[in-house]
């Protein structure tokens, strides 16, 4: 009989230990359990990533376009200044030739022609500078307006900025925002 009692007590103590151990195991699993994302959170994150990629690509494309426009206008300005220099040099050479011929005939006639040639050369240089300034202004406005064109307001193009603000470029070349 003692043996049976001893078996019962050991069995009872073992079952108690097993019960305590299983509760301990359950409790530790609840502390270290992981939570999974919901489908909505996953789609929101996916859409945010896609939107960011699109925005980055649009920014990169607009920067490339603006850089190309700047390069083209610089090339045009350089060409215009070279052409105006060449024209001015030709005019000066021709004036010198004409002045030499005229100096033989009359000194005053040569002075008048030299002045006229200088005036025409100055005019050509001023026009080249104006043209270069115009092209650089266009480049600046192209760089400023890398945003998307979304409509028209008082005969001017309406642009939408990266944060959703709508504006147009006024006659001074500045952004004028439109209240919505």
Does 169 have pLDDT greater than 80? Answer: yes
Q: What are phi and psi of 160, to 5 degrees?
A: -110, 125
Does 109 have pLDDT greater than 80? Answer: no
Does 23 have pLDDT greater than 60? Answer: yes
* Residue range 106-118: mean pLDDT, rounded: 75
Residues with Cβ < 8 Å from 91, sequence gap 6 or more?
Answer: 117, 120, 121, 124
Place of tokens 């650089």: 136
- The three-class DSSP label of residue 25 is helix
Average of per-residue pLDDT values in the chain: 80
| Bridging pattern class, strands 156-160 and 148-153 | antiparallel
Does 145 have pLDDT greater than 60? Answer: no
Confidence (pLDDT) at 166: 92
Long-range contacts of 121-130 (CB under 8 A, 24+ apart): 121/87, 121/88, 121/91, 121/92, 124/84, 124/87, 124/88, 124/91, 125/84, 125/88, 127/84, 128/80, 128/81, 128/83, 128/84, 129/81
Say which residue, 143 or 77, is predicted with more confidence. 77
pLDDT grade, residue 58 (50/70/90)?
Answer: confident
End-to-end CA distance of the chain: 94
pLDDT grade, residue 50 (50/70/90)?
Answer: very high
Does 28 have pLDDT greater than 80? Answer: no
Does 86 have pLDDT greater than 80? Answer: yes
Question: 158: which strand partners?
Answer: 151
Does 37 have pLDDT greater than 70? Answer: no
* Residue range 51-72: mean pLDDT, rounded: 88
Say which residue, 112 or 17, is predicted with more confidence. 17
């Amino acid at each position: 009989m003692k043996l049976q009692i001893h078996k019962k007590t050991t069995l009872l103590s073992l079952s108690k230990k097993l019960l305590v151990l299983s509760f301990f195991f359950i409790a530790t699993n609840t502390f270290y359990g992981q939570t999974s994302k919901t489908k909505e959170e996953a789609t929101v994150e996916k859409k945010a990533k896609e939107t960011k990629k699109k925005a980055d690509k649009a920014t990169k494309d607009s920067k490339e376009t603006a850089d190309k426009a700047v390069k083209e206008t610089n090339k045009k300005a350089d060409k215009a200044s070279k052409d105006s220099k060449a024209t001015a040099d030709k005019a000066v050479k021709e004036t010198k030739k004409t002045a030499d011929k005229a100096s033989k005939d009359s000194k005053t006639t040569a002075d008048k022609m030299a002045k006229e040639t200088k005036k025409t050369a100055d005019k050509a240089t001023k026009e080249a500078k104006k043209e270069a300034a115009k092209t650089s202004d266009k480049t600046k406005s192209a760089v400023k307006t890398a945003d998307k064109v979304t409509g028209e307001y008082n005969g001017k193009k309406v642009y939408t900025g990266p944060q959703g603000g709508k504006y147009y470029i006024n006659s001074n070349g500045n952004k004028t925002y439109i209240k919505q």
